[in-house]
Amino acid sequence: MEQRYYQPEIETMPVEQLKKLQSEKLVKQVQHVYDNVPYYRNLMDEKGITPADIKGIEDLHKLPFLTKADLREAYPTGLLAVPQKDCVRIHSTSGTTGRRVVAFYTQHDVDLWEDCCARAIVAAGCSNEDVCQVAYGYGLFTGGSGLHGGSHKVGCLTLPMSSGNTERQIQFMMDLNATLLCCTPSYAAYLAESLKEQGYKPEDNKLKAGIFGAEPWTEEMRRNIQDALGIKAYDIYGLTETSGPGVAFECSQQNGMHINEDHFYAEIIDPDTGEVLPEGSKGELVFTSLDKEAFPLLRYRTRDICVLSRKPCACGRTHIRMSKPMGRSDDMLIIRGVNVFPSQIETVLLKEGYSPNYQIVLDRVNNNDTFDVNVELNPDQFSDTVGGVTKQEKALAAAMKTMLGINPTVHLVSPKSIVRSEGKAVRVIDKRKLIDSNQWKG
Ligand code: ADP
Ligand code: ZN
């Protein structure tokens, strides 16, 4: 397959040259932040570091980390590095794990972010001949604006659908012959299901690719979506704090996401000790924005757990690849003392032939955790007898026990009875009212 790039000279830059570029940008960036962000200058002063101590990437480890707690403390403008009049936009996190964070963008920052999304769109095999349906939410959430901007840069015909209104999504997808679908993987699965219900077969749509991200999804889910829509499904990763989607994206190899290293320097650290780990180790992903102006975070701890690889990629891109995040360090549930990631449950469901529509409900009764998993049956999985359903529930619970080490109570529920999210799926309802360690003041 012919490889095409949006910015070939950068995307295929030899690694040595790339590292030099990163070092040059970092030196400037540290000075910029030190001069303009008193909050960050204080952190550096406390550690006894000055910008002169940072001569290149090899000195990065000397700088302090920034955490989500720092961002919350600095809310809303405490980390702004340019005069507000130079900013053209804000976005905000979806608040999955607490108080929202507000990120600021200059026009330069918007441009570089949209370039990153354009790289992802071209890597998914698209060009100005394509029709790009953006079904990520628009507004404060970064998904809609990011892919929208990338689509414009590539020159696709952009359908700015935003999320929701599934009937209209399907109508425009069909009537305007959308070839690329961009949304969360859970919404892609929902759209696929709705298309099937309306009698459409995978070959009835003109879609060839999908760019899905903003939440964890498994390889099994990828296969399901690909089969149901007749497309290739590509992963895309990002977070509001660093700009939005497009920090990393998958290429034709669908084997890890290339990090846009000319803009974002990635490290993997041990989340407990903060020690920088060698390439190939699993740990927490940390990003440094190398050339953002308004909201340039240095050594920002994402809390996403993954692995980096510098192994050459057949697509020709030289930028380092990250694995799918294996759940956030704070996504992890502790149930009866055992660590459980929702993605493990999804893996079991898809392996056993169930839909990825599920919800975990946790409660605490007499000091014991209750652990229930509601799973939707596919329309063709209905069992006529109550006994049949009970047997299916037991078998599924046993498969989950094998994966997790603890026993959930499984409830098979009728198709479409779990509320669908148009953005990020709500997988966990935790009623245990445990103390939120983020809020604990000691
Ligand atoms: P919030 O932290 O409120 O959800 P964001 O909307 O900025 O705010 O979400 C960023 C987070 O979404 C990332 O830190 C990561 O945990 C998750 N995420 C984004 N893209 C992906 C992806 N492709 N796979 C798994 N998780 C992802
Ligand atoms: Zn590649």
Residue nearest (by alpha carbon) to ligand 1 atom 25: 216
Q: How far is the CA of 238 from the centre of ligand 1 (A)?
A: 6
Ligand in nearest proximity to the CA of 214: 1
The Cβ-side half-sphere exposure at 125, using a 13 Å CA radius, reads 16
Ligand in nearest proximity to the CA of 309: 2
Residue nearest (by alpha carbon) to ligand 1 atom 11: 239
CA 103, distance to chain mean position in Å, is 17
Q: How far is the CA of 300 from the centre of ligand 2 (A)?
A: 25
CA 316, distance to chain mean position in Å, is 24
Q: How far is the CA of 358 from the centre of ligand 2 (A)?
A: 32
Pocket probe for ligand 1: among 71, 100, 234, 239, the residue whose CB has the most ligand atoms within 8 Å is: 239
Please give the Cα distance from 139 to 141 (Å, whole number).
5
CB 12 within 8 A of CB 316: yes
Tens place of pLDDT per residue across the chain (442 aa)? 577 999 999 999 999 999 999 999 999 999 999 999 999 999 999 999 999 999 999 999 999 999 988 998 899 999 999 999 999 999 998 665 556 789 999 999 999 999 999 999 999 999 999 999 999 999 999 999 999 999 999 999 999 999 889 999 999 999 999 999 999 998 899 899 899 999 999 999 999 999 999 988 888 889 999 999 999 999 999 999 999 999 999 999 999 999 999 999 999 999 889 999 999 999 999 999 999 999 999 999 999 999 999 999 999 999 999 999 876 666 778 787 777 888 889 889 988 989 888 999 999 887 778 999 999 988 777 776 778 889 999 999 999 999 888 899 999 998 888 887 778 788 888 888 654 434 444 4
In three-state secondary structure terms, 242 is: coil
Atom of ligand 1 nearest to the CA of 257: 23
Ligand in nearest proximity to the CA of 259: 2
Residue nearest (by alpha carbon) to ligand 1 atom 4: 96
401 vs 160, 225, 381, CA distance in Å? 43, 26, 22
Atom of ligand 1 nearest to the CA of 241: 7
Q: CB under 6 Å to ligand 1: residues?
A: 93-97, 213-216, 235-240, 302, 304, 324-325, 328
Q: Which residues contact 441 (CB under 8 A, 6 or more apart)?
A: none
List, as one string, the DSSP characters of 276-321. Answer: BPPTT-EEEEEEEESS-SSS--SSEEEEEEEEEE-S--TT---S-E
Residue nearest (by alpha carbon) to ligand 1 atom 10: 239
DSSP E strands, 73-200: 89-92, 102-105, 131-134, 157-160, 180-183
> For tokens 């095999």, what's the residue?
125
Identity of the amino acid at 77: T
The domain spans of the chain are 8-330, 334-426
Q: In this structure, what DSSP letter does residue 98 have?
A: S
Q: How far is the CA of 152 from the centre of ligand 1 (A)?
A: 23
Ligand in nearest proximity to the CA of 211: 1
Q: How far is the CA of 215 from the centre of ligand 1 (A)?
A: 5
Give the CATH fold of the 334-426 domain. Answer: GMP Synthetase; Chain A, domain 3 (3.30.300)
Please give the Cα distance from 267 to 59 (Å, whole number).
13
Q: How far is the CA of 345 from the centre of ligand 2 (A)?
A: 29
Residue nearest (by alpha carbon) to ligand 1 atom 14: 239
Q: How far is the CA of 129 from the centre of ligand 2 (A)?
A: 22
CA 127, distance to chain mean position in Å, is 23
Q: How far is the CA of 11 from the centre of ligand 2 (A)?
A: 10
Q: What are phi and psi of 349, to 5 degrees?
A: -60, -45
> For tokens 């709500």, what's the residue?
426
Ligand in nearest proximity to the CA of 11: 2
List, as one string, the DSSP characters of 135-165. Answer: -SPPSSSHHHHHHHHHHHHHTPEEEE--S--
Residue nearest (by alpha carbon) to ligand 1 atom 8: 93
- Cα 176–Cα 185–Cα 347 angle in degrees, nearest 5: 145
CB 137 within 8 A of CB 163: yes
Please give the Cα distance from 114 to 144 (Å, whole number).
11
Q: How far is the CA of 118 from the centre of ligand 2 (A)?
A: 15
Structure tokens at 68: 């989500």
Q: In this structure, what DSSP letter does residue 408 have?
A: P
- 8-330 has which CATH code? 3.40.50.12780
